[in-house]
């Protein structure tokens, strides 16, 4: 019979292990049982005294939420009350991650997902190797710019992991999960890829290691001294346009937890660098095509009469509804077009096309920003979980989305300045949909639901002076493990885009903690979006005065 071990990682990152030698257990904060089958897990107040049970069988462990379990169980991103857990799989409840692994020294096939804290620890243990791998791979990518990034990475992997037998780079069809080998080393050997391991790596978006019970004994004496098991590592690599790849590495080595983590970490590091290089190359290839697309979409919108309909003070409600849906598409296409133009035009020509002596009225700009806030708040059909206030008042429903001045007076600037609002809309949408009513968002709702009504409010403030306009949002957020503020990948991309296209004219600033609440797991954070239209005018005047 296989011997399993239960692993728990609490909110502080502390790891605890319990060998599962009984057929059944009760797990919780203080699971006092008469027969000693209770497993106490300290460090997480979100765990109930008796939170869930374990039924241990030869091949798996069945997890079931107890009737007294307050918080739900999340397995594979879904809330479930009963499920089967195999070695290497994890689930979450409260603020703790739980998982099942095979006990040390048991020879059988299993898979391990490389957790973030394990990756960090393994990188520290192999710091010199990791640093050397980064330098070697970056140097090789620069020197061999015409060679595929994964081909450059193959020798780097082999230099770090001498026990490697095969390295391959696969492309995976995102709908069918069918994979094909793009390249492999050595090319003359038959590559054996485990499709289940590839699927798990893509599903979890993490590096996964598989250890096979089919071990290799090169000499008879090794049978009792040092059995070498076959292992494989699959790391997902994501490109643009949903292109999906996997870096596959296999070999033989000793079955040791730390060694497995180190192998997986080094492969993960190389795959990360290869992925960045692929994205940069793809972005360069797509740049001109996207610029042409943005130009044609913008031209179509203007010549079709849509701009004239939008400027109509009292358009038909159905027409207005259609235009509300088209505007984001148009704005994104114009941002793409602007990106291409910036690379093609001189600075003077670009500034001259931006500024046509517009006049900015602070009151009009305030109304426009307020309408954007109202539009985001009321547009979705579902009711917001957190209530908003705008400048201290309840938000009223806006009659429509108002464009930012001075766009009405200067049509030539309409497409370009509309691109400035993409960061603001993304920021407000992130606030509007947090927390979601599915996945981990449900658990955040439980934490936020315990707060007083005033602590759950989202406070939105719009301020405009003679130089800049700002939208500031203060909201409650459930902290991640370790007390960090959860990060938004979409906002990180928006910040990079704003800096690349517009420099200091507009900015979606980083979130900061601005207050605490009655819950130690919930803080209030501040978002801030700034439009420095005064700087835009100053740059133009200084440029032409010179």
Residues 44 and 114 in one domain: no
More confident residue, 537 or 64: 64
Question: From CA 161, how far away is CA 163, in angstroms rounded?
Answer: 5
- Regarding whether 500 and 399 lie in a shared domain, the answer is yes
Domain boundary at 69, 102, 135, which? 102
Mean pLDDT to the nearest integer, 127-136? 74
What was the pLDDT predicted at 24? Answer: 93
Query: For 426-453, how does the pLDDT look when each residue is reduced to its tens digit (9 = 90+)?
Result: 888 888 888 887 666 777 888 898 899 9
The per-residue pLDDT of the chain, averaged, comes to 76
**More confident position, 191 or 501:** 191
95 belongs to a structural domain: yes
Average pLDDT for 523-527: 93
Strands, E assignment, 173-297: 179-185, 208-216, 228-238, 244-253
pLDDT bracket for residue 206 (50, 70, 90)? confident
pLDDT at 215: 42
Cis peptide before 186 (omega within 30 of 0): yes
Same domain, 135 and 87: no
At 309-320, the pLDDT tens digits run 766 666 677 777
pLDDT, one tens digit per residue, over 43-96 is: 787 888 899 999 998 888 999 999 888 888 988 767 889 999 888 788 888 888
Q: Are 477 and 371 in a shared domain?
A: yes
Give residue 34's domain range. Answer: 4-102
- Given 282, 303, 331, which residue is the final one in a domain? 282
Helix (H, G, I), strand (E, B) or coil at 390: strand
Please report the pLDDT score of residue 332 as a whole number: 66
What pTM did the predictor assign?
Answer: 0.41
Instruction: Encode pLDDT of 340-364 as tens digits.
Output: 555 555 445 544 554 445 566 788 8
Q: Are residues 367 and 502 in the same domain?
A: yes
Residue 106: the pLDDT is 44
User: Between the ranges 241-245, 255-259, 470-474, where is the mean pLDDT highest?
Assistant: 470-474
Contacts within 8 Å (CB) and 24+ apart, 278-283 = 278/149, 278/237, 278/239, 278/243, 278/245, 279/239, 279/240, 281/149, 282/239, 282/240, 282/241, 282/243, 283/240
pLDDT of 227 > 50? The answer is: no
In this structure, are 242 and 362 located in the same domain? no
Share of the chain above pLDDT 90, in %: 15
């Amino acid at each position: 019979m296989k011997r399993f071990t239960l692993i728990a990682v609490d909110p502080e990152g502390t790891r605890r292990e319990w060998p599962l030698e009984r057929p059944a257990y009760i797990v919780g904060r203080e699971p006092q049982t008469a027969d000693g089958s209770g497993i106490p897990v300290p460090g997480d107040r979100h765990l109930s005294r008796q939170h869930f049970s374990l039924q241990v069988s030869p091949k798996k462990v069945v997890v079931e939420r107890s009737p007294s379990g307050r918080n739900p169980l999340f397995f594979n991103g879904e809330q479930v009350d009963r499920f089967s857990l195999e070695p290497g799989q994890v689930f979450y409840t409260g603020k703790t991650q739980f998982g099942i692994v095979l006990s040390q020294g048991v020879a059988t096939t299993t898979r391990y997902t490389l957790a973030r804290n394990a990756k960090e620890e393994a990188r520290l243990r192999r710091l010199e190797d990791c640093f050397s791998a980064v330098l070697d791979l970056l140097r090789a990518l620069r020197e061999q710019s015409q060679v595929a990034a994964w081909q450059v990475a193959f020798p780097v992997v082999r230099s770090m992991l001498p026990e490697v037998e095969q390295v391959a780079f696969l492309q995976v069809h995102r709908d069918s999960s069918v994979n094909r080998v793009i390249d492999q080393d050595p090319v003359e050997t038959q590559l054996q890829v485990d499709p289940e391991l590839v699927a798990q790596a893509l599903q979890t978006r993490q590096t996964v290691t598989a250890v096979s019970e089919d071990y290799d004994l090169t000499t008879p004496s090794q049978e009792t001294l040092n059995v070498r098991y076959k292992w494989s590592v699959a790391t997902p690599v994501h490109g643009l346009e949903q292109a999906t790849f996997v870096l596959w590495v296999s070999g033989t080595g000793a079955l040791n937890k730390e060694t497995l983590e180190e192998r997986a970490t080094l492969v993960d590091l190389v795959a990360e660098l290869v992925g960045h290089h692929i994205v940069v190359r793809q972005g360069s290839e797509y740049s001109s095509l996207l610029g042409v697309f943005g130009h044609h979409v913008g031209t179509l919108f203007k010549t079709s009469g849509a701009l004239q309909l939008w400027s109509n003070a009292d358009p038909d409600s159905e027409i207005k509804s259609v235009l509300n849906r088209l505007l984001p598409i148009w704005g994104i296409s114009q941002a793409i077009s602007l990106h291409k133009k910036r690379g093609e035009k001189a600075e003077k020509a670009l500034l001259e096309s931006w500024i046509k002596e517009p006049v900015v009225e602070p009151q009009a700009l305030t109304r426009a920003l307020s309408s954007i806030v109202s539009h985001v708040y009321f547009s979705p059909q579902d009711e917001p979980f957190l209530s908003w206030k705008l400048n201290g008042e309840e938000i009223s429903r806006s009659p429509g989305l108002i464009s930012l001045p001075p766009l009405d007076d200067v049509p030539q600037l309409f497409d370009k300045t509309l691109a400035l609002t993409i960061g603001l809309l993304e920021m407000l949408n992130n606030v509007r949909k947090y927390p979601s009513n599915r996945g981990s968002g449900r658990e955040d709702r439980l934490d936020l639901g315990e707060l007083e009504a005033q602590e759950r409010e989202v406070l939105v403030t719009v301020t405009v002076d003679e130089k800049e306009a700002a939208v500031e949002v203060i909201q409650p957020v459930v902290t991640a493990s370790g007390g960090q503020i959860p990060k938004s990948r979409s906002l990180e991309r928006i910040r990079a885009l704003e800096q690349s296209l517009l420099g200091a004219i507009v900015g979606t600033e980083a979130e900061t903690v601005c207050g605490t609440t009655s819950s130690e797991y919930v803080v209030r954070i501040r978002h801030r979006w700034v439009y420095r239209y005064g700087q835009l005018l100053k740059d133009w005047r200084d440029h032409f005065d010179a």
